[in-house]
Amino acid sequence: MTLKELPQSIPPVLGRRYYNVPMKRCSFCPWAATKTCLAILLASVLFGCGGSGNNNPLTQQTPPASGFLYATSQDGITAFPFNSSTGALGTGSQATSVFAATDPLANMVTDPAGKFLFACSLYGSSTEAFSINSETGALTQISASTFPIQGFGGCTLSIDPTGQFLYIAASTGVWGFTVNSTTGVLSAMAGSPFSDGSVLRESVIAPSGKFLYAISNNTTSNTISVFTINSSKGSLTPIAGSPFPMAINGTAYSVVVHPSGKFLYVSFPQTEQIAVWSINTSTGAITVVPGSPFSSGLTSGDAPNSLLVTRSGGFLYALSGATTVFGYGVDANSGALSPINGSPFTLSSATDYFAIDPSSQFVYAAYENTNTIAGFNINASTGVLTPFTVPPVSATGVTLLTVVKSSQ
């Protein structure tokens, strides 16, 4: 499994291009002035007869990157130029030296326009916000957006589809912030943190932006909290019946919502299961899907951990915390899971961190033990993962990953 930039095309050699140009007479060039005409002809070859010369390949600029893959480490965040057509990653450069969270449940999120990047500080003790340079990928910290987070949690951030509201679940409740669409500055919401009495650890927002779901970290029972989101203020209100019990042994670990907004998935590593609920898109209420919980297919007790669903909604992947990743097809009507042919897929190194690009064509794995990032193609029909044929890119101490589409 290897990753590197695809070779760029080499521009035509100037002399060869001159040789291939037909020797046509310009209408303004009289034959009597032979020397003058030759000079004009040479100029017309180099700059275009009667043109501006902007088509000269030697002066054309390289198209900007489609976006950037950001990777965190103890040295800060590194930006890798991302090609949305091939999935290739360019050479990484340090985007910021600010240190971000490295909890296995932690993540980084961007606003829908790709202008800002949000993360957590070490141990999830505060928020971090950065503005994104769309040409270089460099990050500039927005100092006015550093807010303390009380309690403990997975440092998992979620942002609503409009980019107005940012949330972080912790044992003290769900902390909410409004996002300034021009500056990226965060402001604490009135009434935050929001709670229904549960000890929360991770949250996710429905694609409609109407509901927020959070899983508990209680020692005696597992529950799912469901909140409605105020569309103008972002404040959260528990729906009737929240929190809802999860009648499954073991600790709930990771939670995702299907892109359709119709299904909710939660992983249970201790029992090697993935539980599924259907979502009432009008009320936000949840109902267990027939056949849930589904077996992950692993019996070693260390999977499934983190869950990822493709943005197309066709496939769900579960990391094992080791060198395997499990893939499942998602039934669009029931939300039921079925193993993908060839699953589990073997990795060259252990990973806790995956990232899927916005088009659902590629997935990237952070190999902290080998200081590299590897890429895979996602088969749009089968969900099968195929390693890139180019070498992995170097990324010392890599942990979290996220792909950000360019705002250009």
- Over the chain (408 residues), the average pLDDT of each successive run of 10 is 40 36 40 43 39 36 71 93 92 92 88 94 88 94 92 91 96 96 96 94 96 84 94 97 86 92 92 93 95 79 80 92 89 95 89 90 94 95 94 92 81
123 secondary structure, DSSP code: G
Pick the CATH number of 67-405 from 2.160.10.10, 3.40.50.720, 3.60.150.10, 2.130.10.10: 2.130.10.10
Can you point out the beta strands (E) in 58-172?
A: 67-73, 76-82, 93-96, 109-110, 116-120, 127-132, 139-141, 157-159, 165-170
Give the C-alpha separation, 30 to 182, whole Å: 60
Q: Angle 192-74-316 (CA atoms, 0-180°, nearest 5)?
A: 65
- Residue 59 has a CB neighbour count (10 Å cut-off) of 9
Query: Could you check whether the bond before residue 193 is cis, i.e. omega within 30 degrees of 0?
Result: yes
Q: Which helix (H) or strand (E) holds 200?
A: strand 200-205
The pairing of beta strand 157-159 with beta strand 255-257: unpaired
Tell which residue, 374, 372, 362, has the closest CA to residue 403.
Answer: 362
Give the C-alpha separation, 186 to 166, whole Å: 8
- Residue 214 has a CB neighbour count (10 Å cut-off) of 31
Give the C-alpha separation, 40 to 22, whole Å: 14
Q: Which two tokens stand for residue 325?
A: 């990743």
In the chain the first and final C-alpha atoms are separated, in Å, by: 31
Give the C-alpha separation, 338 to 189, whole Å: 41
Give the C-alpha separation, 262 to 256, whole Å: 11
Inter-residue contact 312 to 259 (CB < 8 Å):
yes
Q: What is the domain partition of the chain in residue ranges?
A: 9-60, 67-405
What pLDDT does 195 receive? 95
What pLDDT does 220 receive? 66
What pLDDT does 298 receive? 64
User: What's CA 53's distance to the chain center, in Å?
Assistant: 40
Q: Concatenated DSSP letters for 290-315? A: TTPSEE-S--SSS---SEEE-TTSSE
136 secondary structure, DSSP code: T
Give the C-alpha separation, 400 to 98, whole Å: 14
Q: Concatenated DSSP letters for 209-253? A: SSEEEEEE--SS-EEEEEEEE-TTT--EEEPTTPSEEE--SS---
Phi, psi of 167 (to 5 degrees): -135, 145
Question: Could you give the dihedral angle defined by the CA atoms of residues 44, 50, 52 and 57, in that order, rounded to the nearest 10 degrees?
Answer: -40
What pLDDT does 43 receive? 40
Inter-residue contact 209 to 254 (CB < 8 Å):
no
What pLDDT does 296 receive? 79
What pLDDT does 20 receive? 37
